[in-house]
Structure 1
């Protein structure tokens, strides 16, 4: 297997410090649509309705032309993100902090500035990896509303006969849980809402024959959103101060899965995690309420 050499790694790290800024408006239609997709019975959003935690992912969507899309459904490498020459790309996790007293609201005119904070190369037991850390700052008319760090990982394609990393058993001490089924319709609706063309989420032939997975992959951001949604169902009036999450293992649409939560002793911090049908940990997260 060809490894990235020092020159190629240096060229990728030259992307560090690049930034871009997008403007958008927090409109009501995506809020209504995600509420329906998550099977919620929310009041219809109107101007001034606070945007639930993580639902800002419905905005600032990249609108690449069809001719700019690569074979995996993502935009071709280059542009804002560095052109990492490794075929597999995933949203590995992130950390978010909301500004107290300044929630994003329906009707807000918003601006997001994104910066490539770091590009890191590693080679280990699981193969060659490139980690890209993107830092976002979201402002509305009242000032800074949200800061987010977004971890993207690129890796080589699996070699024939390559063993998957050993799984980790999910914790069994949940205080509240929810059973879920990620069928084709749920994955399609979330892909449509986030304008996500990545074929691993909707093209079964591609994901099984080209990428070698057993089924469609549930979006990492969707699982993170379901973890937050679980806590919102438990604490409907709570406001979020911080949230961090890390993807541990892919979740596939071939079997049901579960999301769990448990409060810590302070009553404001909650452990949240995902579990697949075999009892393996898929995502772990921590939420801190304001």
Structure 2
């Protein structure tokens, strides 16, 4: 497939803005989805990474493709490769978001690059997000998106089992959990909630656990272990997780911070992350 990278790079610098109030209802639903207990009255501190449920693009249903994703183009470049995946990202936290805040997201295309992987071309799109709450900086985010061929996504290369960890949290990625998270983030991608589509059309062994949801669980796990919001959190997806087995959130101390990862029992690392506090 010929990919006109010069054309796609014309999207660099494009900007998108959106705002939404963080309601008490959404804060309660977010906590309930992740089995967290915390007050959700106006002014209370919201759970980490709740901003992924706010000010998300709302494409009309008629404009969605057969996989549930919006049509290509618009803010993101129209990469012709069919599989779009969340590859990783990084956060710098400045202040907590609180229930009742007006949250604004300013997104900018930072870079578009083309690489050749073992299974075909890979197109990487880097997006910067500046998140503010009531006009004050709350966090800055780098989001890495990768586009690839159909045959590349379903293959899982053999890898060593994830290491043991002194801190572990076991989570069952049930269809209900995945559906709830898809609904809150307005993510229509069918691989996360439509098992016949995920297995029969995409060729996966089950529903795919969202990358952002894994990052959320790891970031919250880090904050719970240290009793404070991290200042920096970087993460990278290495292999997929599915709903056919429990997932483990793991952590080990590394200097002044934590090294974290997700994995299925006996499986390889799915997502790796580092949380840091000054």
| Shorter-chain TM-score tier | over 0.9
Conservation of the 8 A alpha-carbon contact between 1:53 and 1:240: no
Cross-structure match for 1:26? 22
Q: 1:19, 1:289 → 2: CA distance? A: 30
Contact 2:22–2:99, Cα closer than 8 Å, also in 1: yes
Residue correspondence of structure 1 range 168-187 to structure 2 within 5 A: 168-172=160-164, 174-187=165-178
Kindly indicate whether residue 6 of structure 2 is the aligned counterpart of residue 16 of structure 1: no
Partner of 1:208: 199
Inter-partner Cα distance in structure 1 for 2:65 and 2:196: 17
> What is the match of residue 244 of structure 1?
234
1:166 and 2:158 correspond:
yes
Tell me by how many angstroms 1:208 deviates: 1.1
The root-mean-square deviation of aligned C-alpha atoms, in Å, is 1.6
Please state if 1:270 is matched with 2:258.
Answer: yes
| Cα distance per residue 1:161-180 (max 9 Å; x no partner) | x95333243122x1210111
Report what 1:136 is aligned to: 129
Q: How far is 1:4 from its partner?
A: 2.2
| TM-score normalised per structure 2 | 0.94
**Consecutive aligned runs of 4 or more in structure 1 exceeding 6 Å deviation:** none
Range 50-59 or range 207-216, more displaced? 50-59
Shift of 1:141: 2.9
Instruction: Name the SS of the counterpart of 1:12 in structure 2.
Output: helix
CA distance in 2, matches of 1:228, 1:163: 27
Measured after TM superposition, the shift of residue 143 of structure 1 is 2.4
Q: How far apart are the structure 2 equivalents of 1:260 and 1:288? A: 16
Q: C-alpha distance in 2, partners of 1:163/1:182?
A: 20
Kindly indicate whether the alpha-carbon contact (under 8 Å) linking 1:72 and 1:199 is maintained by their aligned counterparts in 2: yes
Query: Which residue matches 1:104?
Result: 97
Structure 1 residue corresponding to 2:274, chosen from 270, 282, 286: 286
C-alpha contact (below 8 Å) 2:222/2:230 kept by paired residues? no
1:158 alignment partner, SS class: helix
Residue 142 (structure 1) shift = 4.5
**Are residue 72 (structure 1) and residue 63 (structure 2) matched?**
no
Native 8 Å contact 2:18 2:56 kept in 1: no
Match of 2:218 in 1: 227
CA–CA separation in structure 1 for the residues paired with 2:246 and 2:11: 40
- Are residues 1:152 and 2:145 paired? yes
CA pair 110-34 structure 1, distance change in 2 beyond 3 A:
closer
**In 2, Cα distance between equivalents of 1:114 and 1:223:** 22
Residue 88 (structure 2) aligns with: 93
In 1, are the aligned partners of 2:162 and 2:266 still within 8 Å (CA)? no
Looking at structure 1, the residues matched to 25 and 222 of structure 2 have their Cα atoms a distance apart, in angstroms, of 23
Match of 1:277, SS state, is coil
Q: Is residue 177–residue 230 contact of structure 1 (8 Å, CA) maintained in 2?
A: no
**Structure 2: which 5+ runs fail to align?**
none
